[in-house]
Amino acid sequence: MQFTKMHGCGNDFVVIDAINQALPADMEAFCRRVGDRHFGVGCDQILIVAPSQIADFQMLIFNGDGSKVEMCGNGIRCMARYVVDKGLTTKSKLDVETLAGIIKPEIVGELVCVDMGEPAFRTANWTWDDERVVAKPYSVGGRTIPITLVSMGNPHCVSFHEELTDELVLGIGPQIENDLAHFPKRINVEFIRRVSATELDMRVWERGAGETLACGTGASASCVAAVLNALTERKVTIHLTGGDLQLEWREADNHVYMTGPAATVFEGTLAE
């Protein structure tokens, strides 16, 4: 099976063409093997490019542990670059079917701009029934932190701090992810430091993947959360561990737009 290794701001993926290749029957075991950084290719997620009856393509997303993901912002930028580079389309603007709905990436020179859609604030991904959960005191790991909840097709818990420490990200992050009493489907966790009205620093603990160098849906959710907390303007640069993303939550259509890079690292063939 042919694959391409790609990354967006260090959030890395194994991309597989399922239009011209058959997928294995046991995808969970396959993804665990491929995602392993010692015994496989190694990646945060596996992206499957498949045919769609309602869009140009379908993107299926699996974590390295075999669990499915609704949406991935860095992943969809890589997927858009992949289908163009591989000659699977001549379009620069795409409609891509995901478990979070139709997402619309556009190739803009060396970058990819993605219409991430509208944020949502009341979902089955958390147990609070507030119209919006903004700066809510939340007790975890023996401390109380403020959280803001935003769904970008997948769930995000955003928390603003003066410092982004390992104690927070590596210690508190997995505890929040696995707090099934409040987050029955688990949740992604973003720790954010405000730099200015137009800049944020971000570290992320991703559901099913651990700390990653970047998260596009997490950056989108963090942009929305920063506006809701009156910390920034609607257009911001977010500095992630693996690079920068440009985010804008537009008033005109209530959609979040994300712009960033997508790079190919290498190509290969998976052994049986």
d(CA 66, CA 82): 22
What H or E segment, with its residue span, contains residue 89? Answer: none
3-state SS, residue 128 = coil
3-state SS, residue 39 = coil
Q: Catalytic residue, from 31, 78, 113, 215: name it.
A: 215
CA-closest candidate to residue 238, choices 210, 211, 253, 218: 218
CA-closest candidate to residue 262, choices 203, 214, 210: 214
Exposure string for 67-92, b = 16+ CB within 10 A, e = fewer: bebbbbbbbbbbbbbbbbeeeeeeee
d(CA 233, CA 76): 25
Q: Catalytic residue, from 72, 78, 157, 223: name it.
A: 72
223 in active site: no
9 in active site: no
Structure tokens at 50: 């498949």
d(CA 186, CA 182): 9
- Rounded to 10 deg, the angle between the 73-85 and 216-228 helix axes is 140
Residue 1's alpha-carbon distances to 29, 182, 205, 265, in angstroms, are 15, 40, 30, 17
Q: Would you please indicate which residues are annotated as catalytic (active-site) residues?
A: 72, 215
